[in-house]
Amino acid sequence: MGIKNVKALKIQRILISQPPPTSDKSPYSELINKYNVKIDFKPFIQVEPLTPREFRQQHINFADYTAIVFTSKMHVDNFFKMCEELRVTIPETMKYFCINEATAFYLQKYVVFRKRKIFYGNNQLEDMKDYFLKNKDCNYLVPVTEPHKASTLEALNRFNLKYTAAVFSRTVSNNMKDVNLNDYQIIVFFTPAGIKSLFENFPDFNQGNIIIGTSGTLTAQAAREAGLNVQIESPTKEFASITAALDAFIKKCLKEK
């Protein structure tokens, strides 16, 4: 179930533990206009690149690899930034496998398209199965952020590809101690690292009447393992997105009044 234990509660302020949307026409704007609620965006975590010294501890030799798998634009930036700092030149023969078209086109920031072999999927690595199988002899380098989901690499394992996952960045907690969590009726988390940051910043956090929402199965699991009562959840059979779950929750609260 995506919504649990709805009581008569006036929802005035919601804390979204992510950066604000880049567009005014986001689903959150619709919630603000529809229910006259205030939504604050305060990321509990941030991703920072490793230093060259830290990266060297993994003993990655770029010359050993003939293909790179990018699962986000951020990994594209971190990869080429590290290459620059280590004075590594990537050969024109390198093949690039990108999780989607947007990430593939983002490569133009660093490479000349017409001189490269670039493949992309539709937000899933499985979409590139045929490309991977036709390039089975490649030795793949996969930039990841620590910690990373094991599911990111499942497709590569299924296709029996030779690859190395190399950490180029890490997730760290932001300092949130200037935030008064009791100002909010709902707080929404999107990653297990966000849950970890909550208790690092507020070790004595007591949920009380605060409604906890989570996006993603692993986030919900981490929240419950930390002793939180998750009352808004996505994705579920009912709600594909957290904004849909929030909409239904606020609507139900209004009916209970």
Q: Give per-residue pLDDT as tens, 144-158.
A: 998 877 777 888 999
Task: Indicate yes or no: pTM above 0.85.
Answer: no
* pLDDT single digits (tens) 162-204: 999 999 999 999 999 999 999 999 999 999 999 999 999 999 9
Report the first-to-last Cα separation within the chain, whole angstroms. 22
What number is the average pLDDT over the span 35-40?
95
Dmax (CA) for the chain in angstroms is 65
Would you say residue 9 has pLDDT above 80?
no
C-alpha distances (whole Å) from 102 to each of 68, 108, 131, 247 are 16, 11, 18, 29
User: Cβ distance 175 to 167 under 8 Å?
Assistant: no
Q: In this predicted structure, what is the pLDDT of residue 7?
A: 58
Q: What whole-number distance in Å separates Cα of residue 71 and Cα of residue 74?
A: 8
- Contact yes or no for 245/232 (Cβ under 8 A): yes
- On whether the 13-44+174-256 domain is CATH 3.40.50.10090, my answer is yes
Residue 222 tokens read as 């981490």
In CATH, 48-171 is 3.40.718.10: no
Identify the pLDDT of residue 254. Answer: 83
> Worst-scoring range by mean pLDDT, 138-142, 149-153, 219-223, 232-236?
149-153
In eight-state DSSP terms, residue 3 is B
Provide the token pair at 251: 């609507």
Q: What ranges in 64-186 are assigned the alpha helix state H?
A: 73-85, 101-106, 129-134, 154-158
User: Phi, psi at residue 79, to the nearest 5°?
Assistant: -65, -50
Fold match flag (13-44+174-256 vs 48-171):
yes
Q: What percent of the chain has pLDDT over 70?
A: 96
pLDDT, residue 1, reads 47
Residue-wise pLDDT tens digits, 82-100: 999 999 999 999 999 999 9
Q: Mean pLDDT across the chain, nearest whole number?
A: 91
Distance CA 85, CA 58 (A): 16
Domain ranges of the chain: 13-44+174-256, 48-171
Q: Tokens for 113?
A: 């398209």
The span from the CA of 226 to the CA of 219, in Å, is 11
Assess whether pLDDT exceeds 90 at residue 140.
Answer: yes
Q: What value does the mean pLDDT take over residues 44-63?
A: 96
The CA distance from 242 to 48, in Å, is 26
Tokens 């920031």, residue located: 109
Cβ-based neighbours of 4, under 8 Å, separated by 6 or more:
230, 231
Write down the pLDDT at residue 8: 56
Q: Range with the lowest mean pLDDT among 106-115, 119-128, 194-203, 214-223?
A: 106-115
Task: Estimate the crossing angle of helix 27-35 against helix 242-256, to 10 degrees.
Answer: 10
